[in-house]
Structure 1
Amino acid sequence: MGASEAPLMLSVSGMRGWVGQSLTPEVVARYGAAFGSWLKESLKSETKHPHVVIGRDSRPSGEMFENAATAGLTSVGCKVTKIGIASTPGVAIMGKHLQADGGVVVTASHNPIIWNGFKALRHDGVAPPADQAAIIIQRFQENDVQYVGVDELQPVSINHSAAEVHVEKVLEHVDIDAIKKAGLHAVVDSVHGAGGLEAKLLLDKLNVKITHLYAEPTGIFPHIPEPTKENLSELASVVKEVNADIGFAQDPDADRLAVIDNNGKYIGEEYTLALCAKHVLSNGDATAANLSTSRMLDDIAAAAGAKVYRSAVGEANVASVMKDQDAIVGGEGNGGIIWSKVIHVRDSLVGMALLCEMLAHQNTTLDKIAESIPAYSIVKDKINLELGMADKIKPTMLEVFHDQRIDTQDGVRVDWPDKWVHARTSNTEPIMRIIAEAKNEKEAIDLINQVRDALGFNRYPE
């Protein structure tokens, strides 16, 4: 595939592309200048020189793009603090710690190594919502930036305390003594990403014994980095082999967390939010999740006397709803857990700490706790995008499913009393996702096939 055919994804999740093809240092510098110009315009009554914290995941292309983003930001008069390799939540928390005006994470999250990207953060650590992201993208596309002269260039500083700051922030809100006394053993797969150091610091401070797989931040992923079942067979085997209490899988920028139970069984990304919500929700609380997240959350909230709010897919969208509804916990079914006590950003360390606290408080095994949650079968399908496909989704599904309850705030979600299906284009990859949930896998696959049939695609491979 040539550079002209390589995807460059621009969305509420930032910018992602193929290294050396659609994503080059020039592209990243231009996006940095566009983001910096937007920050200056947004803050013009407060400062002429916004302070931006920038970090990166461990990909081999990361340092190059970190430097390019720094050049773009400083070229429009921003002051930059570089924190090096850090998790996405670590960058967000460090930005708040330093009272910065914004942040940048050079990452492509779970995407393969050929990808990298630019994720912008506001002063609160949250990615700009859709309306603000659209303005930044327009500035980038139109090269609408305000470069400064030499007299307005600001210094670049370096700070390497992000891991410690992140861990201490999480520890402020958990029962450290109870976890220490529990004597837990966890196996962690950090996939040679950015989260290994932070995970080790956290678990060491909680006296959790750690068997650490792929801890070094080399960026050379030992397996496909998305923390899904088919990619975590080694982690599951090691949990069983060493008789650990729990297994944790991070993605490259450590904002997602998948869980393995004490028997070495992958219980999935969907259970990360469900288990954390079960642990923290009380009567009168609110929680939030996107439209593609399991209804396990609805059952857990109902049992606790809490209320669930739904948003479009994307961390910024969930965070916005959480803030509007004063939700204490939220996230996404991809293993993203947001705990408002720490920051309105998905954070694998939050998931680790809460699940360790849950095991310590309940004094039982993870498999028993997971079995207590009403189970559904969720099937996640994806189809490579073809020209015109995105425009077909909404009208076709509205016609085919017109007699059911429909939500169109992000693609189309169709609901029945005991099942649902959601079809949408991805914010981060050139694909369409179809996610279905029902009482059993057969029913969920049937929903997937109803959508595939309606859109003219082959049936789901069984």
Structure 2
Amino acid sequence: MFGTSGVRGEFGEQITADLALEIGRAVAINGADCILIGRDSRTTGSVLLDAAAAGAREYGADVISIGYAATPTIARNVPWTDADVGIAVTASHNPPTDNGIKLWDSDGMAFDEEKQQRITEIVQSDEMSFNPSWNSVGATTVDTQAAHRRHRSALVDAAVSDHIGELSVVVDVGNGVGKITAEAFRDLGCTVNTLNANPDGKFPARPAEPTAEACTVLRQHVASTDADLGVAHDGDADRMMAVDETGSFVTGDALLALFAREAVSPGDSIAVPINTSLSVEDTVEQAGGNIVRTKVGDVYVATEAKRSEVVFGGEPSGAWIWPEETLCPDGPLAAIRLADLVANRGPLSDIVAEIPSYPLRRESHSVDDKHVIMDKIADHAQQYDSVTRVDGVRIETDDGWMLLRASGTESLVRLTAESRSSEKADQLLAEARDILQTYR
């Protein structure tokens, strides 16, 4: 039922009000007495939020509803309000036809696999067959403004540079619920311009995922003004991507390396997914730290980030976690941290230029049975000297690495290859493609 980032799919097909009702019930049956719930701007969000809240209340849990809210606002308010569980109704960066539900623990971290499995078992079992009591229905509290203020205040407090207020920043909200970033920048004294700031679940201005192509207007706007940087969020603002002062899109691997270098001290660790670039590893090692590789998915990064020696975790897709602040990916916090870096160090383009850039190749291939194919690929990989099976099959060579990995949400096998030379990267990708073709 759960994928790499909660329950997600097309509304009316995989995601229905019935499913939301059952998940709300399951969370209450599992012992949650107080549940905090909010949603992104998708047109189907109110239906799913009401259903999940009704299911939870039916089985005795009190519900704090914060309405429209960024997913990090929801996650961070769970411990701030002493709630037991958070429910975010969101499909994050997916298209407007999709929606989903992501669950957050009492410490503000996404449910791990064990807790997700427990909710699945309850939904699929007879545990919801007993009749709830008429006199133990949970109450509803509406808390839209206070939850927003708590997160906004934490963002302002996270800024450390005395010069951050001198910056001019463009924030592309993408018709999602990330306006809190612009508000926090204004609180800090920055000059702020916004793009696509009106919430609209159809995402008319651009796709919800802030890719380089989707951020074309942001790039053009920053390049044609005196803005110091631009930031862009996905639909629920758990992700943040950036544009430098020249209008150039900053890759996720470069951002990950920048944030990691700023956070790490000798002996510290950085948690990153298995598909992260060598540039991050090289940057962290030069600073005296080391890399811990995880499965793809922010919950796996967050799980490693709970360890005391891990000072930062992130994914090239735009999810950034500072465990001393929160165990959820917080796009607005990432925007503040990036602006801090620019205020202290100078133009973002100059800072990015300090990070090595290596040829990275990615492809996705449709397959009939990704699990059977990946089992065969794993057997094939035994002939290589250095193989990692954290998530898919990562094969290390003298020239670089290649990764063959089943998608967590689609019938795809994703191929990634990287080397310090373009020719070797192409060769590694071709080799990975040949391995896949042998067993598909």
TM superposition score category, shorter chain reference: over 0.9
Compute the displacement of 1:119 (Å). Answer: 0.4
Say whether 1:348 aligns with 2:340. no
Which secondary structure state, in structure 2, belongs to the residue aligned with residue 262 of structure 1?
A: coil
C-alpha distance in structure 2 between counterparts of 1:263 and 1:417, whole Å: 36
Aligned to 1:6: none
Say whether 1:157 aligns with 2:165. no
Which secondary structure state, in structure 2, belongs to the residue aligned with residue 229 of structure 1?
A: coil
C-alpha distance in structure 2 between counterparts of 1:376 and 1:186, whole Å: 29
Aligned to 2:174: 191
| 1:75-128 Cα deviation digits (max 9, x unpaired) | 221111010111111101111110111100001111101110010111011112
Aligned to 1:24: 16
| 1:21-49 Cα deviation digits (max 9, x unpaired) | 22211121112212322244xxxxxxxxx
Aligned to 2:361: 379
CA distance 1:379–1:205, change in 2 (3 Å): farther
C-alpha distance in structure 1 between counterparts of 2:142 and 2:56, whole Å: 15
CA distance 1:350–1:380, change in 2 (3 Å): farther
Aligned to 1:45: none
Aligned to 1:245: 228
Aligned to 1:425: 406
Identity within the alignment, %: 30
C-alpha distance in structure 1 between counterparts of 2:259 and 2:197, whole Å: 24
Q: CA RMSD in A?
A: 2.1
C-alpha distance in structure 2 between counterparts of 1:27 and 1:406, whole Å: 39
Name structure 1 gaps, 5 residues minimum: 1-8, 41-49
Contact residue 104 and residue 120 of structure 1 kept, 8 A: yes
CA distance 1:103–1:385, change in 2 (3 Å): farther
Contact residue 272 and residue 337 of structure 1 kept, 8 A: no
C-alpha distance in structure 2 between counterparts of 1:65 and 1:238, whole Å: 36
C-alpha distance in structure 2 between counterparts of 1:283 and 1:393, whole Å: 37
**What code does the residue aligned with 2:150 have?**
V
Aligned to 1:35: 27
Compute the displacement of 1:378 (Å). Answer: 2.3
Contact residue 10 and residue 427 of structure 1 kept, 8 A: no
TM-score (norm 1): 0.89
CA distance 1:263–1:302, change in 2 (3 Å): same
Contact residue 66 and residue 147 of structure 2 kept, 8 A: yes
Moved more, 441-450 or 261-270: 441-450
Compute the displacement of 1:319 (Å). Answer: 1.0
Instruction: Select which of 350, 361, 369 maps to 1:368.
Output: 350
| 1:158-194 Cα deviation digits (max 9, x unpaired) | 10122221121233232153312xx211222111011
CA distance 1:223–1:150, change in 2 (3 Å): same
Name structure 2 gaps, 5 residues minimum: none
Which secondary structure state, in structure 2, belongs to the residue aligned with residue 435 of structure 1?
A: strand
C-alpha distance in structure 1 between counterparts of 2:99 and 2:300, whole Å: 22
**What code does the residue aligned with 2:305 have?**
M
Contact residue 24 and residue 55 of structure 2 kept, 8 A: yes
TM-score (norm 2): 0.93
C-alpha distance in structure 1 between counterparts of 2:101 and 2:126, whole Å: 16
| Equivalent residue runs for 1:18-417 within 5 Å | 18-40=10-32, 50-142=33-125, 144-145=127-128, 147-160=131-144, 161-180=146-165, 183-195=166-178, 197-221=179-203, 222-362=205-345, 364-386=346-368, 388-400=369-381, 402-417=383-398
